[in-house]
Amino acid sequence: MSKKPRHLIKTIYTADPRAHVYNGKIYVFPSHDIDAGIPEDDTGAHFDMRDYHVYSMDDPEGDVIDHGVALDIKDVPWAKRQMWSNDVAHKDGTYYMYFPAKDDKDIFRIGVAISDKPEGPYKARPKPMNGSFSIDPSTFRDDDGTHYIYFGGIWGGQLQRYKTGRYEDNDALRGPEEPALCAKVARLSDDMLEFAEQPRDVVILDAYGNPLKTKDENRRFFEAAWMHKYNGKYYFSYSTGNTHLLCYATGDSPYGPFIYQGVVMTPVVGWTTHHSILEFKGKWYLFHHDSKLSGGKTWLRSMKIVELNYRQDGSIETIDGNADE
């Protein structure tokens, strides 16, 4: 395809695209933006998404099929509001959708919904995952078949409320010279329904082996954790949030630690972007979103695809987030 980005859907607003290859097709699992009429704030209250659609395409340049609503918040017994970024994993003929939502106490939890088809519909389990918290779950299947879940987001994603290891209704971040808050990772249980272990920190180090600090807002993790593997290396990519970059770090284990490497994508139109990285038929692609189609409204975003390229040393060529189609 062209090196220029392509908007995938223009009929509704879609964001946070997580893409996988299932049954020889590309399936994309985005969130569904709506204009809920809620004032914009740093907690993300204006992102009041209420359902998920699933999309598929035979190739990156092909037609995009909207399979309709795969899961609606009214069918999730424990969820009160704000179904943010989700992802779907596959094992033994069953598809598992992991999604965040706020419970009746306005605390984010992560739920699981199940289907026998990637496009759904999905049936939600009656309770969230035990010990789950924060937002942006994404899944990774390693070469040995082990599945991992990565998650977390600061500010509205509430990750800062767990900085002591347990929930506290305190949104203060760590001090500027302290190690930055980290995304979380856990191996999934054999039945894919729970954490198989206590979630661990996804530590990002600088070139000298020191954890990135809170003040390092151009490199530290904010949200949108994603894992992929290239030439035997683990690539952890993420958004820096308020500095609007997509960055990546590499390591030798799905648990890390990861050494910061650089920028995947420069800022887009809209507050920030959120992504996934996918290989399909020998080429690599970045799925992301921006707010161009809504005239810059940060809560009305549209998902896109653009080709991603590696240099000979395995580093990723930086993509211009504001490139025209």
Mean pLDDT of the chain: 97
Q: Is 107 exposed, middle or buried (0-12, 13-18, 19+ CB in 10 A)?
A: middle
CA atoms within 13 A on the CB side of 59: 6
Determine which one of 87, 119, 136, 223 is catalytic. 223
Determine which one of 16, 87, 119, 136 is catalytic. 16
pLDDT confidence of residue 210: 98
Sign, Cα dihedral of 25, 96, 274, 64: positive
CA 205 – CA 249 distance, rounded (Å): 8
pLDDT confidence of residue 63: 97
**pLDDT tens per residue across span 87-110:** 999 999 999 999 999 999 999 999
Is 191 a residue whose pLDDT tops 70? yes
**pLDDT tens per residue across span 142-183:** 999 999 999 999 999 999 999 998 999 999 999 999 999 999
**pLDDT tens per residue across span 38-82:** 888 888 889 999 999 999 999 999 999 999 999 999 999 999 999
Tell me if residue 223 is catalytic. yes
Q: If you average pLDDT over residues 259-278, what whole number do you get? A: 97
**pLDDT tens per residue across span 119-142:** 999 999 999 999 999 999 999 999
pLDDT confidence of residue 43: 86
pLDDT confidence of residue 214: 98
Place of tokens 């290891």: 165
CB-based contacts of 325, cutoff 8 Å, min separation 6: 4, 5, 6, 7
Tell me if residue 16 is catalytic. yes
Our CA dihedral for 269, 273, 276, 278, rounded to 10 degrees, sits at 20
0.95 exceeded by pTM: yes
CA 250 – CA 3 distance, rounded (Å): 24
CA 183 – CA 227 distance, rounded (Å): 11
Is 325 a residue whose pLDDT tops 80? no
Domains recognised in the chain with CATH numbers: 6-308 (2.115.10.20)
